């Protein structure tokens, strides 16, 4: 099992930097995991052309080489370039898929009834199509690659636990957004359930030697001994 960072993400705005509204286009950190014959891309948050270029630069792979796409949670920031991976199976936690799907379907229905917000409706219909294509991810995604629930930021946010012979790696999604959030012990203020987000944050810190945050580069867990 191997892993690498394809693209380092960023928050649209960061409360820890005293930002109160979007000042940049947010996109998730994208990670490539290779386990046997499986090539899993996590959170394709960049637009498809940019992501294809990054993938080639970091791995010498093309979008057609990816066998699986996994979304830690469902936001435009995590799946902006997902359509580039038409040959892959798309995965999302079952709870996230159902929770987000119901909310989006209700919002789309209201917009259709009022006839307003055509651009918003188009975006919602695209999101619903992506959700319908996504499978409910199994607990064991590949050899040494297992789902690790981290609810709170969204109801069904789910990371991936990578088991190496000498250490463990946790792909966190926005449960641990950045290195600064990790060191300050903070979760996103926009979390759907702040208390659960804090519990998930703590679980992530307790289990992993290396953390891949939602919007930053690979971090060595400062609470663990060197290995």
Q: Please say whether the beta carbons of 194 and 151 come within 8 A.
A: no
Q: Please say whether the beta carbons of 160 and 110 come within 8 A.
A: no
Give the whole-angstrom CA distance, residue 153 versus residue 62: 31
pLDDT tens sequence across 67-123: 999 999 999 999 999 999 999 999 999 999 999 988 888 888 888 878 777 788 888
Instruction: Indicate the range of 93-107, 136-150, 188-202 predicted with least confidence.
Output: 93-107
Residue 227 has pLDDT above 60, yes or no: no
3-state secondary structure of 191: coil
Residue 145, strand partner residues: 142, 162
Domains of the chain, residue spans:
2-220
CATH fold for the domain made of 2-220? Metallo-beta-lactamase; Chain A (3.60.15)
Residues above pLDDT 90, as percent of the chain: 84
3-state secondary structure labels for all residues of 142-168: ECCEEEEECCCCCCCCEEEEEECCCCE
Give the whole-angstrom CA distance, residue 48 versus residue 201: 30
Q: Please say whether the beta carbons of 131 and 104 come within 8 A.
A: yes
Q: Please say whether the beta carbons of 191 and 24 come within 8 A.
A: no
- The H or E element containing residue 12 is none
Give strand ranges (E) for the chain: 2-7, 30-35, 38-42, 68-71, 89-92, 135-136, 140-142, 145-149, 158-163, 168-173, 210-213, 219-220
Residues above pLDDT 70, as percent of the chain: 99
């Amino acid at each position: 099992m191997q892993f690498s960072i394809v693209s380092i993400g960023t928050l649209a705005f960061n409360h820890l930097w005293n930002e109160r509204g979007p000042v940049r286009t947010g996109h998730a950190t994208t990670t490539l995991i290779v386990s046997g014959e499986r090539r899993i891309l996590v959170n394709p948050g960049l637009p498809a052309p940019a992501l294809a270029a990054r993938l080639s630069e970091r791995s010498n792979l093309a979008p057609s080489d990816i066998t699986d796409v996994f979304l830690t949670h469902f936001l435009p920031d995590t799946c902006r370039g997902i359509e580039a991976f038409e040959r892959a199976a798309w995965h999302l936690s079952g709870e996230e898929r159902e929770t987000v799907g119901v909310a989006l379907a209700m919002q789309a229905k209201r917009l259709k009834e009022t006839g307003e917000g055509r651009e918003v409706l188009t975006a919602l219909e695209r999101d619903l199509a992506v959700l319908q294509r996504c499978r409910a991810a199994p607990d064991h995604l590949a050899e040494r690659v297992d789902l690790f629930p981290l609810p709170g930021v969204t109801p069904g946010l789910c990371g991936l636990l990578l088991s190496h012979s000498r250490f463990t790696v946790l792909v966190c999604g926005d449960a641990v957004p950045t290195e600064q959030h990790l060191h300050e012990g903070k979760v996103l203020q926009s979390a759907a359930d702040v208390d659960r987000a804090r519990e998930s944050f703590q679980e992530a810190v307790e289990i992993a030697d290396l953390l891949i945050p939602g919007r930053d580069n690979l971090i060595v867990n400062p609470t663990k001994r060197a290995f």
